[in-house]
């Protein structure tokens, strides 16, 4: 049996037993919008609840999705354009004059959301996720997503596909950020539940520090349903991450630098670049979680709750600008709501054109995408709390407080290697000894290389090991990502292990996608 992390259902958590959710933050989040949103916090024993009118909740979900799409697509012209120096965007008006289209900042979540709605299931299983990827996610994927997709072809399932031991992109890739926002919309005002749902899907391709970014941003988005105070929203995100993680230091650095330079975002951008560009211009200095997390937090602080200004700052901070604008845009979109956004006179055409994902709807709109999210969010709310009729036929959602907590702590590569060697090592040995199935042999060979088991297996079963290496080598896409499509540091270490284990490096890179 393949070892995987324990399932993370949106469990019922008693806030009274969670010391990390401070009374000050809880009170602020519940009460800050009490009058305009007509929120009600009522004490019943140790439980606390928030009541949100259905029309308010739906408006905020629609606003969050529209904000995400605007940040993504309006940010694409700035993606990877400003690396050493910031951009110089002086004016920005949100618009989708031709409607929206699929892009990896939203369409991976879209694939999941459609399937979740069809199956009436919030937490899809690893097997269901693999099936979805093989059927619908085969092009316009890069880095950790591309690597995870090829691991699926030799029998790996989530979350192993996103584990730092097996996927060399997983410990810095930003999929933990740009594939999390929509899932947070499913758990309004429930940060802990939002983090659990988000992790079920982002750990398909990431782990380590990037898993902390999932918990940071899902908790912030869920909190934005009940607070319009950016600082309180960020604090809620900080509660959700491992106390020892680098992400905490990054967020606090930006907050401190902002307090020192409240009117000079360029000064903070320079400080971010100088402290967190540590990899001699490699991909991690352009598209890693360090720079992009810092940029997203800075955009929120300098945007001061203004939607267009928040996105303009995100564009100018650069690096993977569309990712950062999409995440910050989701937060401000939830705060403002769809009706407010549409009242601004921005040119928004209600279309979500599918250009990237196989076997998916070709007639989707922004509205129909949002309706899918609303349908699932209502299911989460009813599971956790309840919906009830109020006066004049209005529906109120009674949502229990599910405060943020660190759902998935940080784990080192060494700890993960030891855990996985103990968990799936026996299976790897059994496959090498007796299996004749090519996929199983390819899986076992790759896993053994990553888990430092190859030398012993090669010595104990030389002929069988040679056959397993041959099965792995026959998976040309896996070999291509291993030798040509993996990052410098972690990828180099893995390539050295593979060559030492007897795997031959291809003579040249070929395009096989």
pLDDT at residue 13 is higher than 70: no
Q: Which residue has the tokens 């810095």?
A: 172
Q: How far apart are CA 341 and CA 333, in angstroms?
A: 8
Ranking 4-18, 157-171, 342-356, 457-471 by mean pLDDT, the lowest is 4-18
Supply the pTM of this predicted model: 0.91
How large is the average pLDDT for residues 380-403? 87
- CA dihedral of residues 310, 311, 314, 316 (deg, nearest 10): -110
pLDDT of residue 43: 34
Residues 247-305: tens digit of each pLDDT: 999 999 999 999 999 999 999 999 999 999 988 888 888 889 999 999 999 999 999 99
pLDDT of residue 402: 87
Q: Which CATH architecture has domain 58-380?
A: Orthogonal Bundle (1.10)
pLDDT at residue 14 is higher than 70: no
What confidence category does residue 513 fall into, taking pLDDT thresholds of 50, 70 and 90? low
SS3 397: strand
pLDDT of residue 37: 33
List all residues 6 or more positions away from 119 whose beta carbon is below 8 Å from its beta carbon.
128
Provide the residue count of the chain: 513
Q: How far apart are CA 442 and CA 470, in angstroms?
A: 8
pLDDT at residue 352 is higher than 50: yes
**Token digits for 202?**
């982002």
**Token digits for 442?**
């390819």
pLDDT at residue 15 is higher than 70: no
pLDDT of residue 39: 34
What confidence category does residue 118 fall into, taking pLDDT thresholds of 50, 70 and 90? very high
pLDDT at residue 58 is higher than 50: yes
As annotated, the residues of the chain forming the CATH 1.10.4080.10 domain(s) are 58-380
**Token digits for 396?**
């109120």
The more confident residue out of 307 and 40 is 307
Q: How far apart are CA 236 and CA 216, in angstroms?
A: 8
Residues 455-483: tens digit of each pLDDT: 999 999 999 999 999 999 999 999 999 99
SS3 344: coil
pLDDT at residue 369 is higher than 80: yes
Residues 170-191: tens digit of each pLDDT: 999 999 999 999 999 999 999 9
List all residues 6 or more positions away from 48 whose beta carbon is below 8 Å from its beta carbon.
15, 26, 30, 41, 42, 400, 401
The more confident residue out of 192 and 18 is 192
Q: In angstroms, how far is CA 404 from the centroid of its own chain?
A: 16
What confidence category does residue 47 fall into, taking pLDDT thresholds of 50, 70 and 90? low
CA distance to 163, 204, 465, per residue, from 127 (Å): 16, 11, 28
How large is the average pLDDT for residues 133-151? 96
Average pLDDT, the chain: 91
pLDDT of residue 11: 38
The more confident residue out of 395 and 369 is 369
SS3 264: coil
Residues 427-437: tens digit of each pLDDT: 999 999 999 99
User: Residue 191's closest CA among 179, 202, 183?
Assistant: 183
Ranking 35-39, 366-370, 406-410, 508-512 by mean pLDDT, the lowest is 35-39
How large is the average pLDDT for residues 111-137? 98
% the chain with pLDDT above 90: 84
Give exposure, 217-229, as e/b (b: 16+ Cβ within 10 Å): bbbbbbbbbbbbb
How large is the average pLDDT for residues 42-52? 64
pLDDT at residue 209 is higher than 60: yes
- CA dihedral of residues 122, 136, 69, 340 (deg, nearest 10): -40
Question: What does the DSSP 8-state code read for residue 361?
Answer: -
């Amino acid at each position: 049996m393949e070892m995987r992390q324990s399932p993370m259902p949106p469990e019922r958590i008693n806030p009274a037993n969670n010391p990390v959710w401070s009374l000050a933050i809880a009170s602020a989040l519940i009460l800050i919008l009490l009058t305009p949103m007509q929120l009600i916090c009522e004490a019943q024993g140790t439980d606390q609840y928030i009541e949100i009118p259905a029309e308010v909740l739906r408006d905020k979900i629609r606003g969050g999705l529209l904000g995400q799409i605007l940040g993504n697509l309006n940010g694409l012209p700035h993606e990877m354009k400003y690396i050493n120096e910031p951009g110089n965007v002086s004016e920005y008006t949100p618009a989708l004059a031709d409607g929206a289209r699929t892009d990896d900042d939203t369409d991976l979540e879209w694939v999941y959301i459609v399937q979740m709605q069809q199956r009436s299931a919030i937490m899809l299983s690893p097997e269901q996720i693999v099936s979805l990827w093989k059927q619908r996610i085969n092009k316009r994927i890069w880095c950790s997503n591309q690597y995870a997709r090829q691991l699926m072809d030799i029998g790996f399932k989530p979350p192993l596909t996103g584990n730092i031991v097996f996927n060399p992109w997983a410990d810095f890739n930003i999929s933990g950020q740009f594939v999390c926002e929509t899932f947070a919309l499913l758990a309004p005002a429930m940060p802990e539940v939002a983090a659990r749902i988000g992790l079920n899907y982002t750990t398909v391709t990431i782990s380590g520090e990037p898993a902390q970014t999932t918990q940071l941003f899902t908790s912030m988005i869920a909190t934005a349903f009940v607070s319009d105070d950016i600082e309180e929203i960020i604090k809620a995100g900080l509660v959700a991450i491992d106390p020892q993680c680098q992400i905490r230091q990054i967020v606090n650095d930006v907050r401190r630098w902002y307090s020192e330079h409240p009117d000079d975002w360029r000064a903070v951008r320079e400080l971010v670049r100088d402290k967190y560009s540590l990899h001699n211009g490699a991909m991690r200095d352009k598209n890693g979680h360090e720079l992009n997390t810092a940029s997203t937090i800075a955009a929120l602080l300098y945007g001061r709750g203004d939607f267009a200004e928040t996105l303009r700052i995100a564009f100018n901070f650069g690096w993977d600008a569309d990712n950062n604008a999409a995440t910050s845009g989701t937060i401000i979109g939830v705060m403002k709501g769809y009706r407010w956004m549409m009242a601004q006179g921005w040119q928004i055409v209600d279309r979500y054109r599918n250009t990237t994902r196989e076997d998916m709807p070709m007639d989707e709109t922004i509205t129909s995408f949002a309706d899918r999210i609303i349908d699932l969010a209502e299911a989460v709310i009813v599971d956790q709390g309840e919906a009830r009729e109020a006066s004049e036929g209005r529906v109120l959602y009674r949502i229990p407080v599910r405060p943020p907590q660190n759902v998935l702590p940080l784990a080192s590569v060494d700890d993960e290697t030891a855990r996985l060697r103990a968990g799936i090592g026996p299976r790897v040995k059994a496959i090498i000894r007796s299996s004749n199935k090519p996929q199983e042999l390819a899986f076992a060979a790759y896993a053994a290389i990553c888990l430092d088991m190859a030398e012993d297996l090669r010595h104990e079963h030389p002929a069988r090991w040679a056959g397993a290496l041959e099965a792995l080598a026959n998976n040309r896409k896996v070999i291509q990502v291993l030798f040509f499509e993996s990052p410098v540091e972690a990828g180099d270490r893995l390539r050295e292990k593979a060559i030492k284990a007897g795997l031959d490096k291809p003579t040249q890179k070929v395009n096989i996608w």
